Structure 1
Amino acid sequence: MSVRTATTSATVAALFCGCALLPAGQAGAAETRQAGPPAAPVVIAHRGASAYAPENTLAAVDAAAGLGIAWVENDVQRTKDGVLVVLHDTTLARTTDAERVFPGRAPWAVKDFTAREIAGLDAGSWFAPEYTGTRVPTFKQYLDRVERNHQKLLLEIKSPEIYPGIEKEILRTLRQEGWLDRRHVEHRLVVQSFGAESVKTVHAQRPDVVTGFLGTPRVADLPSYAAFTDQINPSYPTIDAGYVAEVRKLKGAHGKPLRVNTWTVNDAAKAAEVAGFGVDGIISNNPDVVRDATR
């Protein structure tokens, strides 16, 4: 696999390009001015810039920063001893060397390993030799890197049914790390999940936090989702312009039009197509390709 290495020394100013994921716009100002062309969708680096570095690692966060991408998406799970870690699959097999290091512990579920055991795994060599020795970050380590890079976070609670109470633990960590102050909550953080009950739990425990539901609810069911979420974030093959328009007709939990961030779009032609649907954001392994195709 060819890998283009991005650096964190890229111009930080590019991260403050005005591509805010959260605000729905200033309605009053829009009423007094003629509407301009539609804003380009916000581009979100899926598991970091995962086409260019191992997904959900600090290297992928840095790769996104090097490309000038402000928003990164990640997945949070919990270890056997209660430590929050950033990893997509509920098993360690695909993106680490767990099968080699722990040959007798199939299916290598994240929940069955301690944080120390996971910290010793190689989470980079599967992607490319130059990433050998890359580690699975803890959630705190990941937050520190996103903060250092002046980036913003679309956080997925992964498989919450496996981890009872994880919503409270994630919110506690976010608070401890300074991510639940007004600046972060209003401009730099969204918490999403495929589990509607998990999103409801986050909304109940911290009503100020912006939330997203991952999936494509039926149009008839959208009002019930709008009661506890601010975003409907579907897979791109499941939507069209009509669906996006139906979502945008409704106001979400914070009284602003529901937003739509679609995933996972990795080529320019598809990016241009879904941008034409009127989506608010596009989640991509190749965020630079999507940005260049839609701006």
Structure 2
Amino acid sequence: MHARVVAVTATAVLGSVALLPPVHDVRAGVAVRPLVIAHRGASAYAPENTLQAVDKAASMGVAWVENDVQRTRDGRLVVIHDDTLRRTTDAERVFPGRAPWKVKDFTAAEIARLDAGSWFGAAYKGTRVPTLEAYVDRVEHNHQKLLLEIKNPELYPGIERQTLKLLGDEGWLDRRHLTNRLVVQSFSAAGLRTVHELKPGVRTGLLGTPAARDLRRYAGYADLINPSHTALTPAYVDAVHALTGPHGTPMRVFAWTVDDAATARTVARYGVDGVITDKADVVRRALYWY
């Protein structure tokens, strides 16, 4: 019943915000307002990277959610930010002899036993670490869009190909998703280049702040440059926008992680195309309700 209510709410509310344009349309030369992306789901209000965080973002009317992907010992893709289970699960209690509790050292079945919600609050006791299949299915069910981060590809050889295969198997590599519902990002330039070479139709984002003089080298395989808001200047955003990405459109900028109204308005004035935030309600109110 809960999932059905969330889906209905999401459909009703997301319809008004799902197709919001970037803050700065270089070709048209006009300023509009940026996308709001829920960082690890609505992570200020529900345990990060869980299905509950996805649902909370949907209930708030947030079209885009961001997540993080790692791989288990037996080769399953799971949604969790850290490469260790310590911070967001009870792995130390359930498996006391398994330090340092790295995701890659546990099977998917073992991780499925862990409580990934109690650390956040008693109401979320029993929340599980979702598989990537379950996560994208929930995003699809809620009519949302996905900014998917491949974490630590150097720890998981071949994770780029595996992630793309799963996305394809789940129906996320068709024209509709590739055009307007999916971006794959990473801090790894090599990993991102691999994604582009394997599936050129996938839109990609490089996390971090490369020097402006080096931006051109990424334009062949990255559609976005996604820096911390603390590293941004208007000149840097303009330098990104001046380049054309691999899909023939101006490169874009998503800034992270912005959780207050003043900073949201500042980066919007800089011309960013998206704002990644733990508090999507705060940022959306600052950018859209004034």
Higher mean Cα deviation, 17-26 or 85-94? 17-26
Q: How does 1:168-247 map to 2 (within 5 A)?
A: 168-247=161-240
Aligned residue in 2 for 1:60: 53
Q: CA deviation at 1:12?
A: 1.6
The amino acid across from 2:34 in the alignment is P
Q: Could you tell me whether the CA contact under 8 Å between 2:17 and 2:62 is conserved in 1?
A: no
Q: CA deviation at 1:9?
A: 4.6
Aligned residue in 1 for 2:247: 254
Q: Could you tell me whether the CA contact under 8 Å between 1:22 and 1:186 is conserved in 2?
A: no
**Count of residues in Structure 1 that have an aligned counterpart in Structure 2:** 283
Q: CA deviation at 1:20?
A: 3.9
Alpha-carbon distance between aligned partners in 2 of 1:21 and 1:162, rounded to the nearest angstrom: 36
Residues 22 and 273 (structure 1), Cα distance of their counterparts in 2 relative to 1, 3 Å cut? closer
Q: CA deviation at 1:10?
A: 2.4
Q: Could you tell me whether the CA contact under 8 Å between 1:9 and 1:66 is conserved in 2?
A: no
Q: Could you tell me whether the CA contact under 8 Å between 2:21 and 2:35 is conserved in 1?
A: no
SS of residue matched to 1:154: strand
- How high is the TM-score relative to the length of structure 1? 0.92
Aligned residue in 2 for 1:49: 42
- RMSD over aligned CA atoms reads 1.7
Alpha-carbon distance between aligned partners in 1 of 2:211 and 2:18, rounded to the nearest angstrom: 29
Aligned residue in 2 for 1:285: 278
Aligned residue in 1 for 2:259: 266
Q: How does 1:119-130 map to 2 (within 5 A)?
A: 119-130=112-123
Identity of aligned residues (%): 61
Q: Could you tell me whether the CA contact under 8 Å between 1:194 and 1:214 is conserved in 2?
A: yes
Alpha-carbon distance between aligned partners in 2 of 1:222 and 1:22, rounded to the nearest angstrom: 23
Q: CA deviation at 1:18?
A: 4.7
4+ runs deviating over 3 angstroms: 6-9, 18-27
Aligned residue in 2 for 1:10: 9
Give 1:103's match in structure 2, choosing from 96, 106, 123. Answer: 96
Alpha-carbon distance between aligned partners in 2 of 1:272 and 1:236, rounded to the nearest angstrom: 11
Alpha-carbon distance between aligned partners in 1 of 2:21 and 2:202, rounded to the nearest angstrom: 10
Q: Could you tell me whether the CA contact under 8 Å between 1:21 and 1:281 is conserved in 2?
A: no
SS of residue matched to 2:271: coil
Deviation sequence 1:115-157 (CA, Å, 0-9, x none): 0000000000000000000000000000110000000000000
- 5+ unaligned residues in a row in structure 2: which ranges? none
